């Protein structure tokens, strides 16, 4: 049997409060497995096991204050003395005394940070969640923190997200956590369009046609209840890029409106969005979304589906390309199309049929 004592936590600290035990008496642990987290007046620190063995006894409970050098764990087997678990300053090399261990934390594990390194990060105002760990076993070293601090010093000041950008960040995080995205792409030959054709209106009309051909993409999915709702009316979200961030107002009932009414609605919607005067109700209830990012640049895109919707269409930059036309190669104007869908409720076949219908409508001579 041997005892493992609370090691020196660095910076002259003499005691720490037990926050949480990760192990129980009778457990078998391995070297460097976290045993307990303790809180000092500087930080919360995880204390790893100095060796492998079976735990005979734990000293102290949650909330107890333990002095440096006082026993933490008694092992029933293992070496007869503390093997030198390092929690504080590591010295010049910052390398724990272990055989060549793989760098980088294991999947799903947070990087290990020693108190002295954590203190350095606080001093340099570095968020450890943003630091790439290059030390053995996924340890964040002093050099990692200093490298991150240098990078921050060469960038602008931190900006707290507010308003549209804050809302955008929240929506995208929620979508990333929930949606299972898949995508298909294609190009529409639009060389027969008349000069001055209204690209956005043609896209809106084509989406309405595609939704009628394949209703599975004009739908909402309630993942909590496991319920899908196909929606007959098409309320199209239109992604609008503003100086303050992305906003997606909704163009209502697009399948039942004529071209002039749709254009007037789009103009009014864009003006309200840019002026930040759009009513909140006009930002809700989209059944499917269009991102006409090609007006700015880019050909294809991996787009984000925002629940409860199940699909979003992207239109890229119109370019000239060599395509097969009446059995011969020809230079024609083509419109790149990207479709991202939630594969939890939309099949690949449904998505492909939707895109075929969308492309076919766009390729019609107007």
For the chain, which residues make up each domain, given as ranges?
Answer: 2-153, 163-362
| pLDDT by position in tens, the chain (length 366) | 689 998 877 655 678 889 899 999 999 998 888 899 887 765 677 888 988 899 999 999 988 888 888 999 999 865 444 444 434 333 333 334 333 334 455 555 667 788 778 888 888 888 888 898 887 767 888 888 988 888 887 777 777 777 777 878 888 888 999 999 999 999 999 999 999 999 999 999 999 999 999 999 999 999 989 999 999 999 999 998 877 778 899 999 999 999 999 999 999 988 888 777 788 788 889 999 999 999 999 999 999 999 999 999 999 999 999 999 999 999 999 999 999 999 999 999 999 999 999 999 999 986
pLDDT per position as a tens digit, 33-42: 889 988 776 5
pLDDT at 83: 40
Instruction: Give, in words, the CATH class of 163-362.
Output: alpha beta
pTM: 0.61
Which H or E element spans position 142?
A: helix 142-153
Which pLDDT score is estimated for 105? Answer: 54
Measure the CA–CA gap between 332 and 320, rounded to whole angstroms.
Answer: 5
| 23/54 Cα distance (integer angstroms) | 10
Q: Cα separations (Å) of 187 from 211, 214, 306, 335, 350? A: 18, 19, 24, 5, 18
On the question of a common fold for 2-153 and 163-362, the answer reads: no
Q: Is the peptide bond before 308 cis (omega within 30 degrees of 0)?
A: yes
The vertex-348 CA angle with 345 and 352, nearest 5°, equals 120
- In order of 80, 176, 178, the CA distances from 224 in angstroms are 54, 16, 10
CB atoms within 10 A of CB 287: 25
Judge whether 237 and 211 are in contact, CB under 8 Å.
no
At a CB cut-off of 8 Å and minimum separation 6, what does 196 contact? none
Q: Residues of the chain with pLDDT > 70: what percent?
A: 87
Are 117 and 91 spatial neighbours (Cβ–Cβ below 8 Å)? no
37 closest CA partner among 146, 112, 89? 112
Q: What is the pLDDT of residue 189?
A: 96
Query: 165-203 burial string, b = 16+ CB within 10 Å, else e?
Result: eeebeeeeeebeebbebbbebbbbbbbebeeeeebbbbb
Which H helix or E strand runs over 320? strand 319-325
Topology of domain 2-153, per CATH?
OB fold (Dihydrolipoamide Acetyltransferase, E2P) (2.40.50)
Collect all residues with Cβ–Cβ distance below 8 Å to 229 and sequence separation of at least 6: 219, 220, 221, 222
């Amino acid at each position: 049997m041997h005892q493992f004592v609370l090691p020196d936590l660095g910076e002259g600290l003499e005691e720490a409060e037990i926050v949480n035990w990760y192990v129980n008496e009778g457990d078998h642990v391995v070297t460097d497995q976290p045993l307990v987290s303790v809180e000092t007046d500087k930080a919360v620190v995880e204390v790893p096991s100095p060796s492998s063995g079976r735990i005979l006894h734990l000293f102290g409970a949650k909330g107890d204050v333990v002095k440096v050098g006082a026993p933490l764990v008694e092992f029933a087997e293992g070496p007869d003395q503390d093997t030198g678990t390092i929690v504080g300053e590591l010295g010049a090399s910052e390398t724990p005394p272990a055989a060549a261990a793989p760098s980088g934390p294991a999947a799903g594990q947070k990087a290990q940070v020693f108190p002295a390194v954590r203190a350095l990060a606080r001093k340099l105002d570095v968020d450890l969640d943003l630091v790439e760990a290059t030390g053995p076993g996924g340890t964040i070293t002093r050099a990692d923190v200093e490298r991150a601090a240098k990078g921050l010093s060469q960038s602008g000041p931190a900006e707290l997200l507010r308003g549209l950008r804050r809302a955008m960040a929240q929506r995208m995080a929620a979508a990333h956590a929930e949606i299972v995205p898949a995508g298909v792409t294609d190009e529409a030959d639009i060389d027969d369009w008349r000069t001055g054709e209204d690209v956005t209106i043609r896209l809106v009309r084509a989406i309405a046609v595609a939704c009628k051909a394949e209703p599975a993409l004009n739908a909402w999915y309630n993942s909590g209840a496991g319920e899908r709702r196909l929606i007959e009316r098409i309320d199209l979200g239109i992604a609008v890029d503003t100086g303050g961030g992305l906003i997606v107002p909704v163009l209502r009932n697009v399948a039942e409106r004529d071209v002039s009414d749709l254009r007037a609605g789009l103009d009014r919607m864009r003006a309200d969005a840019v002026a930040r005067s759009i009513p909140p109700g006009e930002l809700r209830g989209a059944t499917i979304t269009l991102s006409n990012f090609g007006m700015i640049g880019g050909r294809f895109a991996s787009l984000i589906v925002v629940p409860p919707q199940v699909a979003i269409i992207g239109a890229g930059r119109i370019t000239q390309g060599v395509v097969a036309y009446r059995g011969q190669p020809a230079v024609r104007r083509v419109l790149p199309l990207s479709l991202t869908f939630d594969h939890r409720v939309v099949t690949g076949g449904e998505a492909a049929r939707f895109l075929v219908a969308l492309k076919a409508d766009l390729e019609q001579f107007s």
